[in-house]
Amino acid sequence: MSKLTIAQLDLAGRRVFLRADLNAPLDRGTVTDDTRLRAVVPTIQYAVKAGASVVLASHLGRPKGKPTPEFSLRPIGEHLQSLLDQRVELAPDCVGEATSARARALTAGQVLLLENLRFHAEEEANDDGFAQALAALADCYVNDAFAAAHRAHASIAAITKYLQPAAAGLLMQQELSALGRILEAPDKPLVAILGGAKVSDKLTLVEHLLGRVDALLIGGGMAFTFLRALGHAVGRSLVEPDQLETARRTLDAARRRGVALVLPVDAVVADGLDSAQGRAVGVRDIPAGQMGLDIGPNTVARFTEALSGARTIVWNGPMGVFEKKPFAAGTLALAKAVAGSPAFTVIGGGDTVAAVSQAGVADKIDYISTAGGAFLEFLEGRKLPGVEALTDAA
């Protein structure tokens, strides 16, 4: 996917509208996880070093189209100042004459942070007039918000009709390169690991991956729908009855394609999420009154063996309720197995990123995507509005 990048722009003396994803968690006005802020710093620094001024834009939370003090980007700007080691001025709004005046007054190297884009309902409506007002603040457009690229919003899609060229930032470029490598030309064997709660959430992804992967490992709550489809009694484990036939078709499709679809052989079971401990049992032996909340040690060994010959691994979704200590072992063990593989490894999704961080192996993963929904939709083969809107490279 060849798109124009920031490195191909002449930025000297220009104002860059930089759409970032600064949607970081806050606690009483303090940023509690600055992963997404750190991710955009290299692009800001690149633009500043190239002689540009930066009009930085993002959403934060869901303020429902009206100004809401708790969703102000002020604490984000203050945290960014410390990361950039330079002043980041906060505009009073993202549009309007006062904001326009501040944008026009920028000199090379300065950074102006617009107030929350979602304080205006027109942002999520992909409104042309709002997009045009945003476009008037700058001379060129750079999108570094891959995590929001699946949204057809004004600052992501419509703005590019009025502000050209539209280039990918350094983070966007890295995301497209890493994920494109999985879909377009992966080193084989390619193994995908999927977890999380529901088959229905990842049905399209499973179907798309079956035509590309050599093995598909399925854990988490979604595995129990597949196990039930095979005739196993799974106690009170999470099952989607309306997806049983879909699971059977998926299993048949994997067999026809020669794809190894690997399911758990044991699970850590307990009476419920608040149980102080669980115990591992075979998937044929889950008690009627208990539920599976993690993969068991035999499954960890089986999954690890399935990864042993892989040259590319992509992982989304935890293997159990890893936020609860009694049910974290499977996910953390798998994180260490993925990190220890010589394969090119890519992970995405907030829970999966949290799991590899908790396991202490984040620095051993080749690429950690900042995205959740966009990561999944890209791997499903969907066209993302934020990517499609970028200018094609010459």
Q: In 263-373, which ranges are E strands?
A: 266-270, 279-282, 291-295, 312-316, 344-347, 367-368
Among the options 180, 282, 372, 373, which is catalytic? 373
Tokens found for residue 106: 């920028």
| Closest of 168, 184, 173, 149 to residue 21, by C-alpha | 149
Architecture of the domain spanning 186-379: 3-Layer(aba) Sandwich (3.40)
Can you give the pTM of this predicted structure?
0.88
| Closest of 119, 183, 137 to residue 19, by C-alpha | 137
Cα gap 263→245, rounded to integer Å: 17
Among the options 3, 19, 36, 212, which is catalytic? 36
Cα gap 292→320, rounded to integer Å: 8
Cα gap 170→46, rounded to integer Å: 9
Mean pLDDT over all residues of the chain?
A: 95
Neighbouring CB atoms inside 10 A of 177's CB total: 12
Neighbouring CB atoms inside 10 A of 84's CB total: 16
The residues, any chain, with a CB within 8 Å of residue 174's CB and separated by 6 or more, are 367
pLDDT of amino acid 306? 97
Q: Report, as an integer, the average pLDDT of 347-359.
A: 91
Lowest mean pLDDT of 96-100, 185-189, 332-336, name the range.
Answer: 185-189
Cα gap 26→89, rounded to integer Å: 19
Q: What is the largest CA-CA distance in the chain?
A: 70
Tokens found for residue 210: 């079956």
Among the options 65, 109, 180, 350, which is catalytic? 350
- Strand 291-295: give its sheet, edge to edge: 279-282, 266-270, 291-295
Q: Report, as an integer, the average pLDDT of 79-94.
A: 97
**Residue 36 annotated as catalytic:** yes
Domain span(s) for CATH 3.40.50.1260 in the chain:
6-173, 186-379
**Tens digit of each residue's pLDDT (9 = 90 or more) over 151-198:** 999 999 999 999 999 999 999 999 999 888 888 889 999 999 999 988
pLDDT of amino acid 1? 56
pLDDT of amino acid 371? 85
Please check whether residue 261 is in contact with residue 218, taking contact to mean a CB–CB distance below 8 angstroms. yes
Return the exposure string of 352-363: e unless at least 16 CB atoms fall within 10 Å of the residue's CB, then b. Answer: bbbbbbebebbe
Please check whether residue 185 is in contact with residue 34, taking contact to mean a CB–CB distance below 8 angstroms. no
Confidence band, pLDDT 50/70/90 cuts, at residue 87? very high
| Closest of 162, 15, 10 to residue 100, by C-alpha | 15
pLDDT of amino acid 385? 96
Please check whether residue 193 is in contact with residue 217, taking contact to mean a CB–CB distance below 8 angstroms. yes
**Tens digit of each residue's pLDDT (9 = 90 or more) over 194-236:** 999 888 888 888 988 998 999 999 999 999 999 999 999 999 9
DSSP 324: S
Among the options 38, 74, 181, 198, which is catalytic? 198
Omega cis (within 30) before 165: yes
Cα gap 78→110, rounded to integer Å: 15
**Residue 198 annotated as catalytic:** yes
> 6-173 adopts what CATH topology?
Rossmann fold (3.40.50)
Q: Report, as an integer, the average pLDDT of 109-136.
A: 98
DSSP 9: S
H or E element that contains 170:
helix 170-184
Cα gap 251→242, rounded to integer Å: 16
Please check whether residue 51 is in contact with residue 89, taking contact to mean a CB–CB distance below 8 angstroms. no
**Tens digit of each residue's pLDDT (9 = 90 or more) over 46-67:** 999 999 999 999 999 999 999 9
pLDDT of amino acid 129? 98
pLDDT of amino acid 184? 85
Residue type, 204: T
pLDDT of amino acid 381? 85
**Tens digit of each residue's pLDDT (9 = 90 or more) over 294-312:** 999 999 999 999 999 999 9
Please check whether residue 373 is in contact with residue 379, taking contact to mean a CB–CB distance below 8 angstroms. no
**Residue 364 annotated as catalytic:** no
